Amino acid sequence: MSYLEGSIVIFFDGLFKDKFSFDKGKNILEKIIINKMMTINKDNISLYINIPCFKDAITLTADITKEHFFNIKKIIKQLVYSRNIECNDIFVKIIETFTSREISTRLRKKENINVLIISDLSLQPGSNSRIDDFELCISKFLLNIYLFGVEINNQSNNLSPISISYLKLISPDRCFSFDKSLEHVKYFVTSTVKPLNAKINFIIDEDYIVPLIGYVNQVKIQDKFNINKTIGQDNDKKLKRTYVYKNDKDEEIESDCIIDAYQYGNQLVPFNFFDQLYHSMEPGIKSLKLLKFAPISDIDLSFLESPVYHYFLDKSNSDLANRGEKLIEAMIGNNVVAIGSRILSKNSKPKLVVMFPGICKDSSEPILITFISIFKESINLIDIPSENKIIESLTTNDISLMDSYIDTMMLESHNNRYKPEHTPDPFYQSKLSTIIEKVTDEISYDKSYIKEILNLDKDTTEKCKYIEKKLFDCYGYLE
């Protein structure tokens, strides 16, 4: 197994032989938690610690509405080494956890659970009966056990006979010394936090601007936990991602025949400079423009991606800063987020961003925690138009014609709800298809309202026919 898939349960042992080993264990724990917490898909991990101050399990969820989302350091700081601390045997903790009703119910659903143990196996004396219980627990629940802190056949371990007995129950390729553990989890090392493009204006409208400063580039982390050793010489190779598109005959399509486009219903409308005028975004100008406010409950975090940006108010202008503070307070009070369009450089296209209001715990300052939407500017063409139908750029009349057709169908062309959710990721394409299927299901959805829309009056029907004819004359019929 190259990657850990499914739920993760971590057990941190407070009984290390010395503070040096204890701190190494904390370092490994922090990196694993950061990885799972920064994946924006609401995955969760359960953390069990046998130190007395941690009486209950800690559930950490990759969800901005949860308490621990930006609180990892606080958890790590509570882990303090002491030689006189009285801790229960970590394996007893594991046995009791997986024989409890809550975990057992989850396992009966055949959910894949990976158990990560962080310990140097400096165990207190115990009975061999617990070893048998641990072995039974592994076989009964088919647990995937990983041990960070001890390596089999390592002479420097100095393990007790009981510890060796526990170690023999774990697969050798899933046991790592502290040094090798750091190599395996260096995938989780956080990048240096640095400010980028220190100042940017948040444009609410022409007369309402909130200056922001010092947004911070957070860790770019994938939802993968690589357990394989990284080959050093491969790390220096620069990789470049390319996309190859094929038609129905499995023939590769040349790049000249691929265009970026919006989708209007079943039709594709190419990108052109009119789109930038429509959004009031001039290329080369760094800007952040409000599109709309939306309830937080309407935002699915699985449709957002890292990196996460922190925007603080620029206090060089006190009046504008106070205005921004009132705005963020109002967003918090009304439980809404801001959806905006952002441009960072002259070579970048506008990106859709979602801004969550909050208060910084360290400085108590208002803050906008910003994610990027997974929906990109490009869409894969399913049907490539014939050579005589390829259009380099739409004219103003073309765009007006398309908008008038949409408006006539009672769909407002300016309403973003009727713009496509376009993403090259097949996972999200499938997810969106599932949502559409649920909405249009005959059993659960009343279609009478749709029928009323489709039953247009004669004047509207005749007008649509005229517009359709102009569309077909210009673009041809769509099969």
Query: What's the average model confidence in pLDDT over 314-329?
Result: 88
Structure tokens at 299: 């935002």
- Stated as kind and residue range, the H or E segment containing 312 is strand 304-313
- Greater confidence (213 vs 68) lies with 213
Spell out the domain ranges in the chain. 7-188, 199-230+237-373, 387-475
**Strand pairing report for 144-149 and 175-177:** parallel
d(CA 435, CA 419): 16
The residues pairing with 44 across neighbouring beta strands, listed in sequence order, are 61
Quick: pLDDT tens for 76-128. Answer: 888 888 877 778 888 888 888 888 755 655 555 556 678 899 998 886 665 56
Q: Give the helix, strand, coil percentages of the chain, each rounded to 5.
A: 35, 20, 40
Long-range contacts of 83-86 (CB under 8 A, 24+ apart): 85/14, 85/15, 85/51, 85/52, 86/52
Quick: pLDDT tens for 169-204. Answer: 888 888 888 878 777 665 544 444 444 545 788 888
Name the CATH topology of 199-230+237-373.
Ku70; Chain: A; Domain 2 (2.40.290)
Residue 39 DSSP label: S
Cβ-contact 45, 60 below 8 angstroms: yes
- Stated as kind and residue range, the H or E segment containing 377 is none
CB neighbours of 427 closer than 8 A, spacing ≥ 6? none
Quick: pLDDT tens for 196-247. Answer: 545 788 888 878 888 887 655 444 434 344 444 444 445 556 666 777 777 7
pLDDT of residue 455: 64
Strand locations in 42-92 (E): 44-49, 58-61
- State yes or no: pLDDT of 472 exceeds 90: no
Residue located via tokens 């590769």: 252
pLDDT of residue 125: 61
Query: What's the average model confidence in pLDDT over 350-361?
Result: 84
- State yes or no: pLDDT of 451 exceeds 80: no
CB neighbours of 328 closer than 8 A, spacing ≥ 6? 313, 357, 358, 366, 367, 368
CB neighbours of 391 closer than 8 A, spacing ≥ 6? 270, 398
Residue type, 199: K
Query: What's the average model confidence in pLDDT over 443-466?
Result: 64
Q: Which CATH homologous superfamily contains domain 7-188?
A: von Willebrand factor, type A domain (3.40.50.410)
Residue 187 DSSP label: G
Quick: pLDDT tens for 269-294. Answer: 555 444 434 433 344 457 788 888 88
pLDDT of residue 261: 58
Would you place residue 353 in the very low, low, confident or very high pLDDT band (cuts 50, 70, 90)?
confident
Quick: pLDDT tens for 361-376. Answer: 777 889 898 888 766 4
Q: Give the range with max mean pLDDT: 175-189, 370-384, 415-429, 458-472.
A: 458-472
Per the prediction, the chain carries an average pLDDT of 70
